[in-house]
Amino acid sequence: MSAQHPPTDTQSPSRAWWKEAVVYQIYPRSFMDSNGDGIGDLKGITSKLDYLNDLGVSVLWLCPIFPSPNDDNGYDISDYQGIMAEFGTMADFDELLAQAHARGIKILLDLVINHSSDEHAWFQESRSSKDNPKRDWYIWRPGKNGGPPNNWESIFTEPAWEYDPQTDEYFLHVFSRKQPDLNWDNLDMRAAVYDMIRWWLDKGVDGFRIDAITHIKKTPGMPDLPNPDGLIAVPSHDHHRNIEGIQEYITDLCDNTFAHYDIMTVGEANGVTVDEAPLWVGEDQKKFNMLFQFEQLNLWGSDVDSGLKLPALKKTLTRWQKGLEGQGWNALFVENHDIARIVSTWGDDKAYRYESSTALATMYFLMQGTPFIYQGQELGMTNFPFEHLQQFDDVAVRNLTAKQRAHGWTDHDILHSIKDSARDNSRTPMQWDDSPNAGFTTGTPWLAVNPNHTTINAAQQQNDPNSVLSYFKQMIHLRKEHEILVYGTYDLVLGEHEQVYAYTRTLNGNTLWVVCNLSGEAAHLGTVEGNDWEDRSLLLGNYTTQGQAAVLRPWEARVLA
């Protein structure tokens, strides 16, 4: 087997603090509860800053902390400039921000501006009458033929229009019916959003993850979709995802807000291809710093039952690595609050939980880009053993369950179809120790704690040099110590190997090798032109004993010089 790409050593990318950062994503409801009500909160996060500092992360991304009816766990915001009462007060946030900054840790907030809650004051005004000045801040249409304006289905698998009897019209929601879409054609609405963004930045927030931003533009005219199967509503992604003309909105957003601050911005970029990405993150564009691309997420759906399809993953990640080389920057991740736990889907959460957690981490973390860690990933937390549908909290699961029951599915079949990929797998409480409720709360947790917290928890791993947590600390330190792992170019090696993901990082004539066996069987590396495995020195590995130079043990990862 030969190298797929000869090593490249192009001009080093421009330096920036957010390129060198390591980001830790916090789902506040599930991170740490300080007052015993069963819900994580801001004081809980503050109490764990030393843990996060010791881990080595430099940025915290907080999922929504704003007031919300919690139809979609905070992504339905009813006040953009407040704090959810369950999470604490604005004084608690100010203290968290100050304490984080004192440790050299920056804070990103989740910016949800495709939609608000239907309980937001803006929407309450908008729905009050057709003449209200805020009427066009949202997308209203009269019905058609006794039904909704068109046959679109929302992302949460219900009709995308909700009837409002107060004015006898429908409003559009591409997510939940409690999340009406903002109308980005309305300049007054935009100005209000920009004022809000600047308010947070002037407070000292260090940037944003911008939620669902590719959905803010809809196909002009919002036409009916072909419906040969006679569905109640038709999936409509392609008519509200990265629609032509969206860059006018993005440019206006960035010119009026982000461009005036030294901050970090990462857009959730559903529907954006690598060829289109430079319009969003090109260094000459002055828009977002990086994107969460969805191509690798699209591998989850088909692979969650059959495991990782490595050739497809290599092609996807390499396409993004090479596609943005020299002109943009990647956001690197394999877990977040919207997908199941990686060790349970692509790894082996039983016989090789430590090895597969660390191998999968090494694989993505050391590519070119800014790496993101999702809470609990650094412990090798696993999926939850769901046994009945009542254990789920997620609105998407509730909607899907109702839809599938209406089509004659049994609850057993519904459970089997969703339990391994459901979002609640990654939303169970953080596993701090082996006490009841995993040290997350002294009360009743809002979502059940994974029973394996007695063996998988931070306290147990903290002083174990051979734990997943200790490996993450070493890996983060390695990236900080070696500039090549931040700014070096990426080149795929052993591209046709069905077990091994291997690549090089090259900078100023120096090369490091990242070699990961992503399978439960031993993997022979074979030969790579100009390389002798025997001559390589080990910088980081997830086995404590030395193995054969050209053979990787099950789920073995090595970083070589």
Find residue 507's DSSP bridge partners: 510
The strands making up 140-141's β-sheet, listed across from edge to edge, are 140-141, 169-172, 161-164
pTM summary value? 0.93
The separation between the first and the last C-alpha atoms of the chain, rounded to the nearest angstrom, is 20
Beta strand residue intervals within 262-346, DSSP E: 264-269, 290-293, 331-332
Is 90 within a domain?
A: yes
Residue 483 confidence (pLDDT) above 50? yes
Domain count, the chain: 3
- At residue 259, the 3 state secondary structure works out as helix
Structure tokens that stand for 461 in this block: 């791993």
Give the mean pLDDT of 393-404.
Answer: 83
In this structure, are 434 and 494 located in the same domain?
no
For tokens 């704003």, name the residue: 66
| Predicted pLDDT of residue 30 | 98
In this structure, are 442 and 505 located in the same domain?
no
Is 369 within a domain?
A: yes
- At residue 385, the 3 state secondary structure works out as coil
| Predicted pLDDT of residue 7 | 60
Q: Which of 409, 442, 475 is the last residue of a domain?
A: 475
Enclosing domain of residue 161:
121-172
Tens-place pLDDT, residues 78-94: 999 999 999 999 999 99
CA distance linking residue 129 with residue 166, whole number of Å: 7
Residue 415 confidence (pLDDT) above 90? no
Q: Which of 475, 507, 539 is the last residue of a domain?
A: 475
Q: CB-hemisphere CA count at 13 Å for 353?
A: 17
Q: What is the domain-level CATH number for residue 138?
A: 3.90.400.10
Is 367 within a domain?
A: yes
In this structure, are 462 and 359 located in the same domain?
yes
Q: Residue 6, Cα to own-chain centre: how many angstroms?
A: 32
Integer angstrom CA distances of residue 94 from 42, 103, 107, 140: 10, 14, 11, 37
In this structure, are 441 and 530 located in the same domain?
no
Which residues are designated catalytic? 211, 268
Residue 4 confidence (pLDDT) above 50? no
In this structure, are 108 and 126 located in the same domain?
no
Tens-place pLDDT, residues 87-122: 999 999 999 999 999 999 999 999 999 999 999 999
In this structure, are 31 and 85 located in the same domain?
yes
CA distance linking residue 149 with residue 162, whole number of Å: 10
Q: What is the domain-level CATH number for residue 338?
A: 3.20.20.80
In this structure, are 368 and 465 located in the same domain?
yes
CA distance linking residue 16 with residue 287, whole number of Å: 15
User: Mean of the per-residue pLDDT values for the chain?
Assistant: 95
Is 396 within a domain?
A: no
In this structure, are 161 and 222 located in the same domain?
no
CA distance linking residue 66 with residue 191, whole number of Å: 20
Residue 146 confidence (pLDDT) above 60? yes
Is 408 within a domain?
A: no
Per the model's pLDDT, the better-predicted residue between 435 and 307 turns out to be 435
Structure tokens that stand for 528 in this block: 């790579």
Q: What is the domain-level CATH number for residue 509?
A: 2.60.40.1180
In this structure, are 452 and 539 located in the same domain?
no
DSSP 427: T
Is 134 within a domain?
A: yes
| Predicted pLDDT of residue 5 | 47
Is 132 within a domain?
A: yes
Beta strand residue intervals within 10-53, DSSP E: 23-26
CA distance linking residue 471 with residue 361, whole number of Å: 10
